[in-house]
Every structure is written in C-alpha cells, then in structure tokens.
Amino acid sequence: MSHTAHIPSHRKPRRNASTTALRAGVAGGVLSTIAVAGAAGPAQAEPVTQTIEMPTITAGLSTTVAATAEATQQVALDLETQAQEDAAASSAAKDAKKAKAEAVRKAEAKKKAEAAAKAKAEAAERASRDAARTTLQKSTGSSSSGSTNAATTSYSSNATGSAASVVAFAQAQVGDAYVSGGTGPNSWDCSGLVQAAFRTVGVDLPRVSQSQSTAGTQVSLSNLQPGDILYWGGAGSAYHVGIYVGGGQFVGAQNSSTGVVQRPLDYDMPTGAVRVL
C-alpha cells in the first residue's frame, strides 16, 4: 500500500454528461424567460399607466352609492309616512265607528223618550177629556135652566146654511181636550177650533186669534147670529176666540182644565164679535 493511500483526493469528481446538459438546458430556459420578460416589459407599460385613472372611477362610484343611500332613505321615510297615515286612518275609522254607535244609542234613547212622552200626553189628554165630560154631565144635571154658570149641550141652534155647518162642527168637538197649538182632531186650542170649523164650509181663516178677531165685519154683541166669531181682548189683539151657536151660548176651547165646552155668554162675556158668513 502506498503511503499516500489514506490521504483523500482534492480533485472534484467528474460530472455526468447528461446531468451537465440538463442543467445547461434549464439555465438556458431561465435566461430565455428573463430575456422574454425583459423584452415584454416596455410593451405593457401603457396599460399600467391607464390603470392610474381609478380615482375617477371611485369618485363616480361614491356618487352612485350616495344617491342609492339617499333613495333608500327616502323609501324608508315614505314607508314610515305611509305607516303613520295608515295608523291615523285606522284610528279615525275606529273613532267614527264609536261616534256612530253613540249617535245611534242617543237616537234610540231619544226615540224611546219621545214615545214615552207621547204616551203620557195621550193618557193625560184622555183623562182630561173624561174629566171634562164628567164635569159637563154633573153641571148639566145639577144646575137649573136659568143658571148663568150652567154648562149645556142640549141647545139646538136654529142656524141655517153654512152657519149651521160651522155650529154643528163646533158642538161636535165639545169634550175634546185643550192643547196649546192644537188643531185637532181630538185636541184644540181656541183659534185652532175656530179655524177648523170654518174650513168645513170652505172659509180659510187666519191661524191665530189676533187675526181672526178682524177677519170679518165687526158686529154688536146685541146683534149676534149663529156662526159669528166671538173674541176676548181688543180687535186685532184678541187673546181668545170662540163661536156663537145661538140661544145666548158659545162653544170654545177654553183651557186645559175645561177643554172644549159650550157655555152661556155671561159665563165669560166676550169683548166683541165679527161676522164672516
């Protein structure tokens, strides 16, 4: 053995030819790629420069986003307004329904009250009429024929023609109730009875006693004829009227206590008279 056999050699081992060729090819490819990239670099510089315009695009986008946000806010406001309007309409409908129900209730209550009042008035009218008739019957049966305060319905007028019709109508209402403003058929006030009596013969008299006291020719109380209108108070300012039926008697709707009665003149002497027929 050589004395230098144990000393390692400093010579580099030889490389395989194929490995060397492969490495050379890879290196060449890399260099080619770099060369191509370097050559292509200047050609792509212009597109890169154009992308710097991005701030302009971003500004337009911001305007669009702001407009969209504003539109969204407006829609939200519109929806809120609509909701408030719907709530107000619903509340108003409820209030209207409640008010209508209350009005119906009050109307029904008023109708019932009016019906009760009417029934009460009719009952009072019947009672007053019955009382008046009872009074007339008692007065007629207990008084003498010469008494000036006697109530009599037995007198038959000697009136003829239209006057007889007026007298007959007036006497037929004796016993009916007196009601202020009454115009029949079962309750009267003084002028309402006189007006209705003359209407049976086609004479349309004024409604109130003041006007009826001047509706015809003034006549003396000493020259009365059946069918003449008697009045109490001044001519044109009379406060009460009645109808002379002959025999010194008259028929009139006196008051709520007596109703329609037939009485002698001196029961309540009239002030004057007018002749229409």
pLDDT per position as a tens digit, 224-260: 999 999 999 999 999 999 999 999 999 999 999 999 9
Q: Indicate whether 149 pLDDT > 50.
A: no
pLDDT per position as a tens digit, 39-85: 544 545 455 455 555 555 555 666 777 778 888 888 888 888 888 88
- What secondary structure, in 3-state letters, does the chain show? CCCCCCCCCCCCCCCCHHHHHHHHHHHHHHHHHHHHHHHHCHHHHHHHHHHHHHHHHHHHHHHHHHHHHHHHHHHHHHHHHHHHHHHHHHHHHHHHHHHHHHHHHHHHHHHHHHHHHHHHHHHHHHHHHHHHHHHHHHHHHHCCCCCCCCCCCCCCCCCCHHHHHHHHHHHHCCCCEECCCCECCCEECHHHHHHHHHHCCCCCCCCCHHHHCCCCEEECHHHCCCCCEEEECCCCCCCEEEEEEECCEEEEEEECCCEEEEEEHHHCCCCEEEECC
Query: From CA 93, how far away is CA 103, in angstroms rounded?
Result: 15
Q: Which residue has the higher pLDDT, 42 or 165?
A: 165
pLDDT (0 to 100) of residue 109? 81
Query: From CA 170, how far away is CA 194, in angstroms rounded?
Result: 8
Confidence class for position 137, pLDDT limits 50, 70, 90: very low
Q: Is 161-275 CATH 3.90.1720.10?
A: yes
Q: Indicate whether 270 pLDDT > 90.
A: yes
